[in-house]
Amino acid sequence: MIDYNGFGVFRYIRRNLNVIPSRRLRKPYTTDGRRPAEMQRFRALASARRSIPSLRRALSTTRPSSVHDDELQDEVLVEGKAAARTAILNRPSALNALTNSMGIRLKKLYESWEDNPDVGFVLMKGSGKAFSAGGDVVTLYRLLNEGKVENCKDFFRNFYMFIYIVGTYLKPHVAILDGITMGGGAGVSIPGTFRIATDKTIFATPEVHIGFHPDAGASFYLSNLDGHLGEYLALTGEKLNGVDMLAVGLATNYSMSDRLDWVDERLAKLMTDDPSEIDSTLAQYGDIVYPDKNSIVHRLEVIDKCFGHETVEEILDALETEAARSNQDWCISALKKLKEASPLSLKVSLRSIREGRLQTFDQCLVREYRMSLHGISKLVSNDFCEGVRARLVDKDLVPKWDPPVLEKVSEDMVDHYFSPLGEFEPDLKLPTHLREAFV
C-alpha cells in the first residue's frame, strides 16, 4: 500500500479498508524508483472528476464583494515552469500570516491546477524569512472586537476546506518550509505529499499560549506522531528545528536554505506528475542530516512517560517529578510553558489530540471547526481574545486567563468545545463523497 499524501490519503485508505492505524508516520513513497499502479488511478480519478459539475459547486465559496482581485493576487503570487505551479505566500511583513482572502485564492488556484492536464505537481513556499506563522489571529481579534463574527467563521471555513484539499490532492504537493512554520502554516503544508525542512525552519503549534487549541488539522497529524510526542508539542508549544521535523516525520526531506534555489531549479525542469520522480530529485539534491545531542529524539522515552498520563494535572505532576529528579533544562522549560498557557486551552487541546487518534482526517477538521467557533464565541471564556491581546497586540505577556487555574476548569467547559454548533449553525461540510482516496 502506497501512502501518496503522507497524512491525508493514507488515513482515507485506512477508513475505507478498516485497517488499524500505524503509530508511526509513513514514508510517502516506495524507494525503489518503481512507478506504482496507483498513480494511473490517480490521474484517472482526476479526469473523471472533471466531468462532475457538482464538484466545483461543492468546493467553491462565494467570494465576498469586499475582497478585491488585486489583494488576492498580491497576497498569493503564482509561478509556473514546465509542469510545476508554485503558490507563494506573500505577506513577508506579517510573516505570511494567512488571511481569509488568501484561503479563497489558494483554494481557487489548487482546484484549477488539479484539473489542468498541463500541471503535473504543485509547490508552496513563503516570501521573506517565514513559510507562514499561521492564521492572522490579530485580524481575527479585531474582527471579534468589532462584532464581525461571521467574517471569522468565513476564515475558518475557507482555510479548513483548503487544508482538506491539500490532504486529498490528486497531484504531488511540495511545501518548502524555509523559516517559521507554525500553526496554520503547518496546517496548509503537512497534509501534502512532500515537506522540505531547512536549517532555518522553526516549527511549533503554540496556540495554547493565545487561549486557543492546535487546529488546522493539527489534532490529526500530531496524534499520528510516535508515542505521546503530539501531546507534548500541543501542550507546550515547543519549537522544533528542521532536523527534528525530519527525524519525527513532520518533514519528508531536508535541504540547506542556501541550496533551495538549486533544488527549485531542478524541480522546475521536471515534466512529470510522477511522485517517485519528484522524490528522486529531492533525494538527489537534498542534504543528509542527523539529530544532534540536544535533539528531541533523545528524550522521547521521558516525554512518553510524562505526557502519556490521562489528565493535564497528572502530566504536570509527572513533569514536576522528572524535573526534580533530572534537573534537565528541557523539562524545566516544559513545566514553565505549561504553567504559562491557558488552563482551559490545555484541557481542550489534550482531549483534541486524544480524539484525533481515533478519527480520520476529515473528522478531525470538522471537529476542529466546531472547537474553533466555540473558542471565538466567548460563551465559555474570552481566553482567545485575551491571549492574542497579551501576546500580539499589547504585548504585555500577562494574560488574565479565565478560569485562571486548572482546578477551576470544569468538564462542562471542556465538553462545550466538542458539542454541536447549534440548530442554526451548520457544521463544516467537506466534500468527502467527491474527494475519495484511491486504493
Active site residues: 135, 184, 207, 215
Report how far residue 139's alpha carbon sits from residue 145's, in angstroms, rounded to the nearest whole number. Answer: 10
Largest CA distance in the chain: 64
φ, ψ at 390 (rounded to 5°): -70, -35
Report how far residue 19's alpha carbon sits from residue 115's, in angstroms, rounded to the nearest whole number. Answer: 30
Report how far residue 24's alpha carbon sits from residue 43's, in angstroms, rounded to the nearest whole number. Answer: 28
33 backbone φψ class: left, alpha, beta (φ>0; ψ -120 to 50): left
8 A C-beta contact, residue 196 and residue 176: yes
Report how far residue 224's alpha carbon sits from residue 23's, in angstroms, rounded to the nearest whole number. Answer: 6
What is the three-class DSSP state of 155? Answer: helix
Three cell numbers written together for 57: 459547486
Q: Are strands 76-81 and 84-89 parallel, antiparallel or unpaired?
A: antiparallel
8 A C-beta contact, residue 177 and residue 203: yes
Query: Long-range contacts made by residues 246-249, C-beta under 8 angstroms, separation at least 24?
Result: 246/197, 246/289, 247/291, 247/295, 247/296, 247/297, 248/25, 248/296, 248/297, 249/24, 249/25, 249/225
Report how far residue 401's alpha carbon sits from residue 271's, in angstroms, rounded to the nearest whole number. Answer: 53
- Nearest partner of 87 among 117, 60, 116, 108, judged by Cα: 108
User: H or E stretch including 189?
Assistant: none
- Nearest partner of 345 among 375, 370, 366, 321, judged by Cα: 375
- Nearest partner of 177 among 132, 136, 213, judged by Cα: 132
What is the three-class DSSP state of 378? Answer: coil
* Angle at CA of residue 15, ends 12 and 20, nearest 5°: 115
Report how far residue 359's alpha carbon sits from residue 363's, in angstroms, rounded to the nearest whole number. Answer: 6
Which amino acid is it at 179? G
- Nearest partner of 159 among 207, 100, 215, judged by Cα: 100
8 A C-beta contact, residue 386 and residue 399: yes
What is the three-class DSSP state of 430? Answer: coil
Report how far residue 53's alpha carbon sits from residue 415's, in angstroms, rounded to the nearest whole number. Answer: 39
